[in-house]
A and B are shown apart, each in its own frame.
Chain A
Amino acid sequence: MVVISDLHLGNPFSSQSRQIFEFIRWAAKEGFDVCINGDGLEIAQSSFTKMTNEVPDFLRALAEVRRAGREAYYIVGNHDIALEHFLDDWGMMKASPFLNVLSGGRRVRIEHGHLYDPFFVKHPHLYEFLTRLGAIPLRFFPKSYRLWIRFERWKSGRRAKRTGITGEPQAFALAAAEIAQRGFDAVVFGHTHHAGRVDLAEGAEYLNPGSWLLTPHYVEILEGEVRLKTWSPSRSGGASA
C-alpha cells in the first residue's frame, strides 16, 4: 500500500494535481493499494471551478487502481469532514475514518490525525472559520502557504525540548504513541503538512507523508516495512525521503 495525504484537490493552492494522478496511476501499475489519508478533496476552501476540473481525473485515476485489481481507500480528514458519515464502498474507493493494515505481521494504523490537533479539538468553529478565511489570501497568493509552513518549522525548532516531527505540535507524536500502545507497530497521520518520521516506544514508529502540495512524499507499506519516500516522475518511482 502507498499512503498520500492532504492533496486538497480543488483548493486554490493545489497545483500538483497532474503529478498526483500520475502517481496514483504508477501505484496501480506497480500493484499497490492506494490510501488517500484525508483532505483529499477540498470542501472547506474549494474553488468550484478547480473542483470540477480536478475531481473527475482524480476519480478516473482511482478507477485504474480498482481495474488493476487493487483497492483504493479514502480516509476522511477535516477539510472533507462532511464525508465522515460515509463508511461505504463507493465503487472506485472505500471510505473510512481510519484503516488498520496488516503487512508482514506488522500492524499499521492510518488516520488523518485532525482529532489530535489541540486547536481543532478545542475550537472547532473558530478553526473552521479561520480555514475559510484563509481561502481568501490563498486565492490571490497561493504560494503564501509555503511561508506559513516555514514559520511553523521555525517555531517548532525554537522549542527547547522537541519530540515528534519538526513543525508539528507535540500532540501528534503523543497521540501516535497512545495508539501504538494498542498493539500497532506504526502509525501514519496526515493533517499537519509536515513530513517526517520518529521512533516511538517499544520499537513502534510514527510517520507523516506531509502534504503532496509541498513535497511529493508518500508512505510505502510493503512486506512489513513502513518507509517515507519521495516520488519522482522522472525516476517513475520513489526514493527514501
Chain B
Amino acid sequence: MGEHFSHESIRTYADGEKIFAEGDTGRDLYVVQRGAVEIRKATKGGDLPLARFGRGHFFGELALVHSLPRSASAYAVGETRLLVLQPGGFLLKIRRDPTFAFELIQQLSHRVKVSNDRLVSLVESSPSAAELIQAMKDAEEPAK
C-alpha cells in the first residue's frame, strides 16, 4: 500500500533547501508530509516571510489552479518530505481522497481571513487610514 500513482511523487528536502523560486513556471501542488515549509516574498527591503506550513498543509496551488508563475519562493524548514501532485493528478487525487478538497477549501478560506485581518490591522494603524481606504475603493472601481 505504498504505491504512488502517475502524476504524483514524494520528494525530500534538506533544511533550508529551496523548493521553488519566485517566478518559476512549475505547476506542481505540494502537501507537507513531514517537516515544514516557509514561503518568502522578495521585497525592496529583503525577503518577507509570508507563511509557514506544517504537516498536512498544502502550497503551490496558484500555479496549478491558475497557471500562474510562482508568486513567492518556498524553502524547507528542517528535513522535509512533500507529496507532489503534478498536473493531471489533482482531480484524481480528490476523487480518491475527497476530504482533501474539503481541507483545501478550509485552508484557503482561513488564509483569506488571515490576510483580510492583517490588511485591516495595517490600514487601521496607519496615520493615513482614510486615504488608504479611498485608494482601495478606487482600485476596485471598474474601468470607465
Contact = CB atoms under 8 A, between A and B. Distances in A.
Interface residues of B, number: 16
Interface residues of A, number: 20
Interface centre among A98, A179, A183, A200 (most CB of B within 10 A): A183
Contacts of A115: 98-99
B32 A174 contact: no
Given A173-B1, A177-B1, A202-B2, A183 B31 contact: yes
Interface string A63-107: 000000000000000000000000000000000011010000001
A174 B105 CA distance: 24
Interface in A148-199: 163, 173-175, 177-179, 181-184
A175 B96 contact: yes
B2 A177 contact: yes
Interface in B40-83: 55-56, 83
A163 B1 contact: yes
A163 B2 CA distance: 12
Given A97-B102, A182-B33, A107 B1 contact: no
Given A97-B102, A202-B2, A178 B96 contact: yes
A101 to B, nearest CB: 11
A115 B94 CA distance: 12
Given A107-B55, A183-B55, A184-B56, A97 B2 contact: no
Interface of B: 1-2, 31-34, 55-56, 83, 96-100, 102-103
8 contacts: A98-B99, A107-B55, A111-B99, A177-B1, A179-B97, A181-B33, A182-B83, A201-B1
